[in-house]
Chain A
Amino acid sequence: MEHRLPPSPIPDVIVCPHCDAAYKLARPAHGQRAVCVRCHTVLIAPRFKAGLQIIAVSIAVVILVIAATVFPFLTIRAAGASNSVSIIDAALAFSDGPLVVLSLSTAALIIFIPLLRVLLALYVLVPVVLDKMPARGSRQAFRLAEALRPWSMAEIFAIGVAVALVKITDLADVAFGAAFWIFALVVLLVVIQDRFMCRWTVWKSLDGLRK
Protein backbone atom coordinates (compact mmCIF):
# COMPACT_ATOMS: atom_id res chain seq x y z
CA MET A 1 0.00 0.00 0.00
CA GLU A 2 1.24 3.44 -0.90
CA HIS A 3 2.06 5.55 2.07
CA ARG A 4 1.68 9.26 1.45
CA LEU A 5 3.84 11.61 3.42
CA PRO A 6 2.14 14.79 4.54
CA PRO A 7 3.41 17.82 2.60
CA SER A 8 6.01 19.82 4.44
CA PRO A 9 5.73 23.58 4.85
CA ILE A 10 8.13 25.84 2.99
CA PRO A 11 10.19 27.78 5.51
CA ASP A 12 11.69 31.23 5.13
CA VAL A 13 8.93 32.45 2.82
CA ILE A 14 5.89 34.51 3.72
CA VAL A 15 2.98 35.19 1.38
CA CYS A 16 0.72 38.21 1.65
CA PRO A 17 -2.82 36.90 2.22
CA HIS A 18 -4.36 39.84 0.34
CA CYS A 19 -2.34 40.04 -2.87
CA ASP A 20 -0.34 36.78 -2.98
CA ALA A 21 3.06 38.51 -3.09
CA ALA A 22 5.83 36.23 -1.78
CA TYR A 23 8.69 37.48 0.36
CA LYS A 24 11.75 36.04 2.01
CA LEU A 25 10.84 35.80 5.66
CA ALA A 26 12.61 38.32 7.88
CA ARG A 27 11.34 38.79 11.40
CA PRO A 28 11.13 42.48 12.25
CA ALA A 29 12.44 43.74 15.60
CA HIS A 30 9.98 44.50 18.41
CA GLY A 31 7.96 47.60 17.64
CA GLN A 32 8.70 47.39 13.91
CA ARG A 33 6.42 46.02 11.22
CA ALA A 34 6.81 43.94 8.11
CA VAL A 35 4.51 45.38 5.44
CA CYS A 36 3.65 44.08 1.97
CA VAL A 37 5.25 46.49 -0.53
CA ARG A 38 2.45 46.42 -3.05
CA CYS A 39 -0.78 46.28 -1.07
CA HIS A 40 0.56 47.58 2.27
CA THR A 41 -0.99 44.79 4.34
CA VAL A 42 0.79 44.46 7.68
CA LEU A 43 2.26 40.96 7.71
CA ILE A 44 4.16 40.83 10.99
CA ALA A 45 4.05 43.39 13.81
CA PRO A 46 5.59 42.02 16.99
CA ARG A 47 5.56 44.08 20.17
CA PHE A 48 7.72 43.77 23.24
CA LYS A 49 5.90 41.78 25.95
CA ALA A 50 2.71 41.90 23.90
CA GLY A 51 1.53 38.53 25.25
CA LEU A 52 1.55 39.66 28.85
CA GLN A 53 -0.12 42.96 27.99
CA ILE A 54 -2.84 41.23 25.98
CA ILE A 55 -3.50 38.82 28.85
CA ALA A 56 -3.78 41.69 31.33
CA VAL A 57 -6.15 43.63 29.07
CA SER A 58 -8.20 40.50 28.34
CA ILE A 59 -8.75 39.70 32.01
CA ALA A 60 -9.85 43.29 32.56
CA VAL A 61 -12.30 43.02 29.65
CA VAL A 62 -13.86 39.81 31.01
CA ILE A 63 -14.47 41.38 34.42
CA LEU A 64 -15.75 44.66 32.99
CA VAL A 65 -18.11 43.03 30.46
CA ILE A 66 -19.76 41.04 33.24
CA ALA A 67 -20.05 44.18 35.36
CA ALA A 68 -21.42 46.17 32.40
CA THR A 69 -24.23 43.71 31.81
CA VAL A 70 -25.30 43.61 35.45
CA PHE A 71 -25.40 47.30 36.38
CA PRO A 72 -27.99 49.74 34.98
CA PHE A 73 -26.89 51.30 31.70
CA LEU A 74 -29.21 54.25 31.10
CA THR A 75 -32.18 55.74 32.92
CA ILE A 76 -34.81 57.93 31.29
CA ARG A 77 -37.14 60.32 33.09
CA ALA A 78 -40.00 62.36 31.67
CA ALA A 79 -42.98 63.92 33.44
CA GLY A 80 -42.72 61.71 36.51
CA ALA A 81 -42.35 58.43 34.65
CA SER A 82 -38.99 56.72 34.51
CA ASN A 83 -37.41 53.64 32.98
CA SER A 84 -34.03 52.09 33.61
CA VAL A 85 -32.37 49.56 31.31
CA SER A 86 -29.25 47.41 31.29
CA ILE A 87 -27.26 46.50 28.19
CA ILE A 88 -29.00 43.13 28.09
CA ASP A 89 -32.38 44.94 28.04
CA ALA A 90 -31.20 47.05 25.12
CA ALA A 91 -29.96 44.02 23.24
CA LEU A 92 -33.21 42.15 23.82
CA ALA A 93 -35.46 45.05 22.80
CA PHE A 94 -36.60 43.25 19.64
CA SER A 95 -38.75 40.81 21.56
CA ASP A 96 -41.99 40.44 19.63
CA GLY A 97 -42.52 37.80 16.97
CA PRO A 98 -39.87 37.21 14.31
CA LEU A 99 -37.77 40.04 15.70
CA VAL A 100 -36.58 37.67 18.47
CA VAL A 101 -33.89 36.49 16.07
CA LEU A 102 -32.69 40.06 15.89
CA SER A 103 -32.66 40.29 19.71
CA LEU A 104 -30.44 37.26 20.04
CA SER A 105 -28.04 38.37 17.31
CA THR A 106 -27.83 41.88 18.77
CA ALA A 107 -26.95 40.43 22.16
CA ALA A 108 -24.31 38.26 20.49
CA LEU A 109 -22.79 41.12 18.50
CA ILE A 110 -22.41 43.53 21.39
CA ILE A 111 -21.72 41.24 24.38
CA PHE A 112 -21.17 37.54 23.74
CA ILE A 113 -18.88 37.63 20.70
CA PRO A 114 -16.50 40.25 22.18
CA LEU A 115 -16.48 38.26 25.43
CA LEU A 116 -15.93 34.93 23.67
CA ARG A 117 -13.07 36.35 21.58
CA VAL A 118 -11.31 37.59 24.70
CA LEU A 119 -11.77 34.24 26.47
CA LEU A 120 -10.41 32.38 23.43
CA ALA A 121 -7.41 34.71 23.32
CA LEU A 122 -6.72 33.96 26.99
CA TYR A 123 -7.02 30.22 26.37
CA VAL A 124 -4.50 30.39 23.53
CA LEU A 125 -2.05 32.91 24.94
CA VAL A 126 -1.73 32.01 28.62
CA PRO A 127 0.17 28.72 28.03
CA VAL A 128 2.28 30.31 25.28
CA VAL A 129 3.32 33.24 27.45
CA LEU A 130 4.11 30.90 30.38
CA ASP A 131 6.35 28.86 28.03
CA LYS A 132 4.19 25.76 28.40
CA MET A 133 2.81 23.49 25.71
CA PRO A 134 -0.12 25.19 23.96
CA ALA A 135 -3.47 24.08 25.37
CA ARG A 136 -5.46 21.39 23.55
CA GLY A 137 -7.46 22.78 20.67
CA SER A 138 -5.50 26.04 20.69
CA ARG A 139 -5.52 26.20 16.91
CA GLN A 140 -9.27 25.73 16.69
CA ALA A 141 -9.72 28.31 19.44
CA PHE A 142 -7.57 30.92 17.71
CA ARG A 143 -9.21 30.13 14.38
CA LEU A 144 -12.64 30.77 15.86
CA ALA A 145 -11.43 33.98 17.50
CA GLU A 146 -10.13 35.23 14.15
CA ALA A 147 -13.29 34.23 12.27
CA LEU A 148 -15.40 36.16 14.77
CA ARG A 149 -13.33 39.33 14.49
CA PRO A 150 -15.61 41.23 12.06
CA TRP A 151 -18.67 40.23 14.11
CA SER A 152 -17.48 41.83 17.33
CA MET A 153 -19.38 45.12 17.31
CA ALA A 154 -19.04 46.65 20.79
CA GLU A 155 -17.52 49.84 19.39
CA ILE A 156 -20.33 50.24 16.86
CA PHE A 157 -22.88 49.85 19.65
CA ALA A 158 -21.09 52.70 21.45
CA ILE A 159 -21.70 55.02 18.47
CA GLY A 160 -25.29 53.79 18.37
CA VAL A 161 -25.70 54.83 22.01
CA ALA A 162 -24.37 58.30 21.22
CA VAL A 163 -26.82 58.73 18.33
CA ALA A 164 -29.75 57.45 20.41
CA LEU A 165 -28.89 59.86 23.22
CA VAL A 166 -28.98 62.85 20.91
CA LYS A 167 -32.33 61.66 19.58
CA ILE A 168 -34.02 61.60 22.98
CA THR A 169 -32.38 64.34 25.02
CA ASP A 170 -34.98 66.77 23.63
CA LEU A 171 -37.85 64.61 24.85
CA ALA A 172 -36.66 63.37 28.22
CA ASP A 173 -33.88 63.47 30.81
CA VAL A 174 -31.33 60.72 30.46
CA ALA A 175 -29.05 59.65 33.30
CA PHE A 176 -25.99 57.45 32.82
CA GLY A 177 -25.68 54.35 34.99
CA ALA A 178 -22.44 52.73 36.13
CA ALA A 179 -22.58 50.29 33.23
CA PHE A 180 -22.40 53.17 30.76
CA TRP A 181 -18.92 54.17 31.87
CA ILE A 182 -17.80 50.57 32.29
CA PHE A 183 -18.92 49.80 28.77
CA ALA A 184 -17.03 52.80 27.40
CA LEU A 185 -13.89 51.34 29.01
CA VAL A 186 -14.65 47.89 27.55
CA VAL A 187 -14.84 49.34 24.03
CA LEU A 188 -11.45 51.01 24.49
CA LEU A 189 -9.80 47.88 25.91
CA VAL A 190 -11.20 45.61 23.20
CA VAL A 191 -9.65 47.86 20.54
CA ILE A 192 -6.31 47.93 22.42
CA GLN A 193 -6.35 44.13 22.81
CA ASP A 194 -6.95 43.73 19.09
CA ARG A 195 -4.22 46.20 18.13
CA PHE A 196 -1.55 44.58 20.31
CA MET A 197 -2.00 41.12 18.88
CA CYS A 198 0.32 40.04 16.07
CA ARG A 199 -1.45 37.15 14.32
CA TRP A 200 1.70 35.85 12.68
CA THR A 201 3.53 35.60 16.01
CA VAL A 202 0.61 33.75 17.61
CA TRP A 203 0.39 31.23 14.76
CA LYS A 204 4.16 30.80 14.88
CA SER A 205 4.02 30.03 18.59
CA LEU A 206 1.39 27.36 17.95
CA ASP A 207 3.68 25.73 15.39
CA GLY A 208 5.16 23.11 17.67
CA LEU A 209 1.74 21.79 18.58
CA ARG A 210 0.57 18.41 17.38
CA LYS A 211 -2.89 18.37 15.84
Chain B
Amino acid sequence: MSDVQVITAREMGVVGCRRCTQVWPVGTETCGRCGKTLVSRDLKSLQRVWAWWIVGFMCYIPANMYPMLQTRTLFTVQQDTIVGGAVELLTHDAVGVALIILFASVVIPLGKFFAIAYLAISVKRKNAASFEQRQLLYEVVEYIGRWSMIDIFVVAILSALVQLNTLAAVHPGPASLFFALSVIFTMLSAQNFDSRMIWDVQARELGDE
Protein backbone atom coordinates (compact mmCIF):
# COMPACT_ATOMS: atom_id res chain seq x y z
CA MET B 1 0.00 0.00 0.00
CA SER B 2 1.32 3.36 -0.91
CA ASP B 3 2.04 5.58 2.06
CA VAL B 4 2.52 8.67 -0.08
CA GLN B 5 -0.41 11.02 0.21
CA VAL B 6 -0.99 13.07 -2.88
CA ILE B 7 -3.79 15.31 -4.00
CA THR B 8 -5.15 14.48 -7.40
CA ALA B 9 -6.15 17.02 -9.98
CA ARG B 10 -9.72 15.80 -9.77
CA GLU B 11 -9.84 16.47 -6.01
CA MET B 12 -8.51 19.95 -6.68
CA GLY B 13 -11.27 20.57 -9.19
CA VAL B 14 -8.87 20.93 -12.08
CA VAL B 15 -8.00 18.78 -15.07
CA GLY B 16 -4.49 18.21 -16.35
CA CYS B 17 -3.63 17.84 -20.02
CA ARG B 18 -2.26 14.35 -20.60
CA ARG B 19 -0.04 15.54 -23.43
CA CYS B 20 1.58 18.75 -22.21
CA THR B 21 0.68 18.65 -18.46
CA GLN B 22 -0.86 22.15 -18.54
CA VAL B 23 -3.60 22.49 -15.92
CA TRP B 24 -7.11 23.84 -16.57
CA PRO B 25 -10.33 24.33 -14.59
CA VAL B 26 -12.71 21.37 -14.75
CA GLY B 27 -15.11 21.78 -17.66
CA THR B 28 -12.48 23.11 -20.08
CA GLU B 29 -12.92 21.12 -23.25
CA THR B 30 -9.62 21.37 -25.05
CA CYS B 31 -6.15 22.28 -23.87
CA GLY B 32 -5.36 25.82 -24.98
CA ARG B 33 -1.68 25.01 -25.22
CA CYS B 34 -1.50 21.80 -27.22
CA GLY B 35 -5.10 21.30 -28.37
CA LYS B 36 -5.73 17.91 -26.76
CA THR B 37 -9.25 17.10 -25.61
CA LEU B 38 -9.39 17.35 -21.83
CA VAL B 39 -11.20 14.75 -19.74
CA SER B 40 -10.80 14.23 -16.02
CA ARG B 41 -11.39 10.49 -16.50
CA ASP B 42 -11.87 8.89 -19.86
CA LEU B 43 -14.86 6.65 -19.07
CA LYS B 44 -15.16 5.30 -22.59
CA SER B 45 -11.50 4.36 -22.72
CA LEU B 46 -12.15 0.80 -21.48
CA GLN B 47 -14.52 0.15 -24.38
CA ARG B 48 -11.85 1.21 -26.84
CA VAL B 49 -9.26 -0.88 -24.99
CA TRP B 50 -11.44 -4.00 -25.25
CA ALA B 51 -12.38 -3.32 -28.89
CA TRP B 52 -8.73 -3.13 -30.01
CA TRP B 53 -7.87 -6.05 -27.71
CA ILE B 54 -10.44 -8.32 -29.36
CA VAL B 55 -9.40 -7.38 -32.91
CA GLY B 56 -5.77 -7.86 -31.95
CA PHE B 57 -6.47 -11.28 -30.49
CA MET B 58 -8.47 -12.31 -33.56
CA CYS B 59 -5.46 -11.47 -35.73
CA TYR B 60 -3.09 -13.34 -33.44
CA ILE B 61 -4.83 -16.69 -34.12
CA PRO B 62 -4.24 -16.85 -37.92
CA ALA B 63 -0.81 -15.35 -37.30
CA ASN B 64 0.12 -18.61 -35.58
CA MET B 65 -1.68 -20.98 -37.92
CA TYR B 66 -0.49 -19.80 -41.33
CA PRO B 67 3.15 -20.00 -42.39
CA MET B 68 5.32 -16.99 -41.62
CA LEU B 69 8.14 -17.94 -44.00
CA GLN B 70 8.31 -20.02 -47.14
CA THR B 71 11.82 -21.25 -47.90
CA ARG B 72 12.49 -22.74 -51.31
CA THR B 73 15.82 -24.46 -51.93
CA LEU B 74 16.91 -26.55 -54.91
CA PHE B 75 14.68 -29.53 -54.24
CA THR B 76 12.49 -28.64 -51.31
CA VAL B 77 9.88 -26.09 -50.31
CA GLN B 78 9.55 -25.55 -46.59
CA GLN B 79 6.86 -23.57 -44.84
CA ASP B 80 7.40 -22.45 -41.26
CA THR B 81 4.94 -21.03 -38.79
CA ILE B 82 6.24 -18.73 -36.04
CA VAL B 83 6.62 -21.51 -33.48
CA GLY B 84 7.72 -24.01 -36.12
CA GLY B 85 10.52 -21.70 -37.27
CA ALA B 86 11.73 -21.24 -33.71
CA VAL B 87 11.71 -25.00 -33.08
CA GLU B 88 13.65 -25.45 -36.33
CA LEU B 89 16.27 -23.02 -35.01
CA LEU B 90 16.46 -24.95 -31.73
CA THR B 91 17.29 -28.15 -33.58
CA HIS B 92 20.06 -26.28 -35.42
CA ASP B 93 21.65 -25.29 -32.11
CA ALA B 94 20.82 -21.59 -32.50
CA VAL B 95 19.29 -21.54 -29.04
CA GLY B 96 19.83 -17.84 -28.39
CA VAL B 97 18.08 -16.71 -31.56
CA ALA B 98 15.27 -19.22 -31.09
CA LEU B 99 14.69 -17.80 -27.62
CA ILE B 100 14.64 -14.21 -28.94
CA ILE B 101 12.07 -15.20 -31.57
CA LEU B 102 9.96 -17.15 -29.08
CA PHE B 103 10.15 -14.30 -26.61
CA ALA B 104 9.30 -11.56 -29.12
CA SER B 105 6.60 -13.47 -31.00
CA VAL B 106 4.96 -15.66 -28.38
CA VAL B 107 5.79 -14.57 -24.83
CA ILE B 108 5.47 -10.80 -25.36
CA PRO B 109 2.19 -10.88 -27.37
CA LEU B 110 0.50 -13.40 -25.07
CA GLY B 111 1.79 -11.63 -21.96
CA LYS B 112 0.50 -8.39 -23.38
CA PHE B 113 -2.99 -9.77 -23.96
CA PHE B 114 -3.10 -11.01 -20.36
CA ALA B 115 -1.63 -7.81 -18.94
CA ILE B 116 -4.04 -5.45 -20.72
CA ALA B 117 -7.03 -7.63 -19.84
CA TYR B 118 -5.89 -7.79 -16.22
CA LEU B 119 -5.43 -4.00 -16.01
CA ALA B 120 -8.78 -3.31 -17.65
CA ILE B 121 -10.55 -5.67 -15.24
CA SER B 122 -8.60 -4.53 -12.17
CA VAL B 123 -9.72 -0.89 -12.38
CA LYS B 124 -13.30 -2.10 -11.96
CA ARG B 125 -12.77 -3.98 -8.72
CA LYS B 126 -10.96 -3.78 -5.43
CA ASN B 127 -7.71 -5.43 -6.08
CA ALA B 128 -4.91 -7.10 -4.20
CA ALA B 129 -2.08 -6.01 -6.48
CA SER B 130 -0.50 -2.73 -5.44
CA PHE B 131 -0.89 0.39 -7.54
CA GLU B 132 2.82 0.73 -8.06
CA GLN B 133 2.93 -2.80 -9.45
CA ARG B 134 0.03 -2.19 -11.80
CA GLN B 135 1.48 1.13 -12.95
CA LEU B 136 4.76 -0.68 -13.59
CA LEU B 137 2.91 -3.41 -15.49
CA TYR B 138 1.23 -0.76 -17.62
CA GLU B 139 4.51 0.93 -18.42
CA VAL B 140 6.15 -2.38 -19.29
CA VAL B 141 3.24 -3.22 -21.61
CA GLU B 142 3.48 0.17 -23.33
CA TYR B 143 7.24 -0.08 -23.69
CA ILE B 144 7.69 -3.71 -24.65
CA GLY B 145 4.74 -4.14 -27.02
CA ARG B 146 6.57 -2.57 -29.95
CA TRP B 147 9.35 -5.16 -29.71
CA SER B 148 7.05 -7.86 -31.06
CA MET B 149 7.67 -6.36 -34.49
CA ILE B 150 11.13 -8.01 -34.51
CA ASP B 151 9.80 -11.11 -36.26
CA ILE B 152 8.16 -9.04 -39.01
CA PHE B 153 11.45 -7.27 -39.67
CA VAL B 154 13.34 -10.59 -39.68
CA VAL B 155 10.93 -11.89 -42.33
CA ALA B 156 11.34 -8.66 -44.32
CA ILE B 157 15.14 -8.86 -44.30
CA LEU B 158 15.24 -12.57 -45.11
CA SER B 159 12.75 -12.25 -47.97
CA ALA B 160 14.62 -9.33 -49.49
CA LEU B 161 18.08 -10.79 -49.03
CA VAL B 162 17.69 -14.50 -49.75
CA GLN B 163 16.80 -14.28 -53.44
CA LEU B 164 19.41 -16.48 -55.09
CA ASN B 165 17.44 -17.50 -58.18
CA THR B 166 17.18 -21.28 -58.32
CA LEU B 167 19.49 -21.91 -55.39
CA ALA B 168 17.36 -20.57 -52.57
CA ALA B 169 14.58 -18.08 -52.11
CA VAL B 170 12.58 -16.94 -49.10
CA HIS B 171 9.07 -15.54 -49.36
CA PRO B 172 6.88 -14.05 -46.63
CA GLY B 173 3.78 -16.03 -45.71
CA PRO B 174 0.28 -14.75 -44.92
CA ALA B 175 0.94 -14.99 -41.18
CA SER B 176 3.24 -11.96 -41.43
CA LEU B 177 0.32 -9.68 -42.28
CA PHE B 178 -1.85 -11.01 -39.44
CA PHE B 179 1.00 -10.84 -36.97
CA ALA B 180 1.83 -7.22 -37.84
CA LEU B 181 -1.85 -6.29 -37.52
CA SER B 182 -2.05 -8.03 -34.16
CA VAL B 183 0.94 -6.07 -32.85
CA ILE B 184 -0.49 -2.78 -34.13
CA PHE B 185 -3.94 -3.42 -32.65
CA THR B 186 -2.58 -4.37 -29.22
CA MET B 187 -0.41 -1.25 -29.24
CA LEU B 188 -3.54 0.81 -29.89
CA SER B 189 -5.36 -1.08 -27.14
CA ALA B 190 -2.64 -0.26 -24.60
CA GLN B 191 -2.48 3.38 -25.73
CA ASN B 192 -6.19 3.80 -25.15
CA PHE B 193 -5.98 2.69 -21.53
CA ASP B 194 -6.37 5.62 -19.15
CA SER B 195 -3.80 4.78 -16.48
CA ARG B 196 -5.21 7.37 -14.10
CA MET B 197 -7.99 4.89 -13.35
CA ILE B 198 -5.48 2.56 -11.68
CA TRP B 199 -4.94 5.20 -9.02
CA ASP B 200 -8.59 6.10 -8.54
CA VAL B 201 -9.19 2.77 -6.82
CA GLN B 202 -6.43 3.69 -4.41
CA ALA B 203 -8.18 6.92 -3.53
CA ARG B 204 -11.44 5.05 -3.03
CA GLU B 205 -9.88 2.40 -0.80
CA LEU B 206 -8.03 4.93 1.33
CA GLY B 207 -11.28 6.80 1.69
CA ASP B 208 -12.99 3.65 2.97
CA GLU B 209 -10.52 3.12 5.77
* Chain A minimum-CB-distance residue to B180: A102
Do A85 and B199 touch across chains, with their CB atoms under 8 A apart?
no
Do B9 and A160 touch across chains, with their CB atoms under 8 A apart?
no
Do B146 and A156 touch across chains, with their CB atoms under 8 A apart?
yes
Do A9 and B33 touch across chains, with their CB atoms under 8 A apart?
yes
* Chain B minimum-CB-distance residue to A15: B16
With A19-B198, A139-B34 in contact, do A94 and B6 touch (Cβ < 8 Å)? Answer: no
A13 to B7, CA, bound (A): 12
Among B9, B142, B172, B191, point to the contact of A99 (Cβ < 8 A).
Answer: B172
Do A43 and B158 touch across chains, with their CB atoms under 8 A apart?
no
Kindly state whether residue A189 has any CB partner on chain B within 8 Å: no
A17 to B32, CA, bound (A): 16
Binds A, one of B43-51, B54-62, B89-97: B89-97
A142 to B142, CA, bound (A): 21
Do B157 and A102 touch across chains, with their CB atoms under 8 A apart?
no
Task: Give every chain B residue within 8 A of A101 (Cβ-Cβ).
Answer: 177
- Chain B residues within 8 Å of chain A by Cβ, number: 74
With A13-B14, A167-B89 in contact, do A79 and B167 touch (Cβ < 8 Å)? Answer: yes
Task: Give every chain B residue within 8 A of A9 (Cβ-Cβ).
Answer: 22-24, 32-33
Interface centre among A106, A143, A160, A211 (most CB of B within 10 A): A160
Within 8 A of A (CB), among B1-60: 2, 4, 6-12, 14-25, 27-28, 32-36
With A10-B14, A166-B94 in contact, do A102 and B20 touch (Cβ < 8 Å)? Answer: no
Interface class of chain A by DSSP = mixed
Counting contact residues on chain A (CB < 8 A from B), the size range is 35 or more
Q: How far is the CB of A181 from chain B (nearest CB, A)?
A: 16
Task: Give every chain A residue within 8 A of B174 (Cβ-Cβ).
Answer: 99
A146 to B152, CA, bound (A): 24
Do B23 and A13 touch across chains, with their CB atoms under 8 A apart?
yes
Do A99 and B14 touch across chains, with their CB atoms under 8 A apart?
no
A166 to B32, CA, bound (A): 51
Q: How far is the CB of A198 from chain B (nearest CB, A)?
A: 11
Kindly state whether residue B101 has any CB partner on chain A within 8 Å: yes
Binding site for B on A (CB under 8 A): 6-7, 9-10, 13-23, 37-40, 43, 74, 76, 78-79, 81-83, 85, 89-94, 96, 98-99, 101-102, 105-106, 109-110, 139-140, 142-143, 146, 150, 153, 156-157, 159-161, 163-164, 166-168, 170-172, 174, 199-200, 203, 206-207, 211
Q: List 26 A-B contacts (CB under 8 A).
A: A9-B23, A14-B21, A16-B21, A17-B16, A19-B135, A20-B200, A21-B6, A21-B8, A39-B131, A74-B161, A91-B156, A92-B160, A93-B155, A99-B172, A99-B174, A102-B180, A110-B153, A139-B35, A143-B36, A146-B19, A150-B187, A150-B191, A153-B153, A161-B153, A168-B161, A168-B162
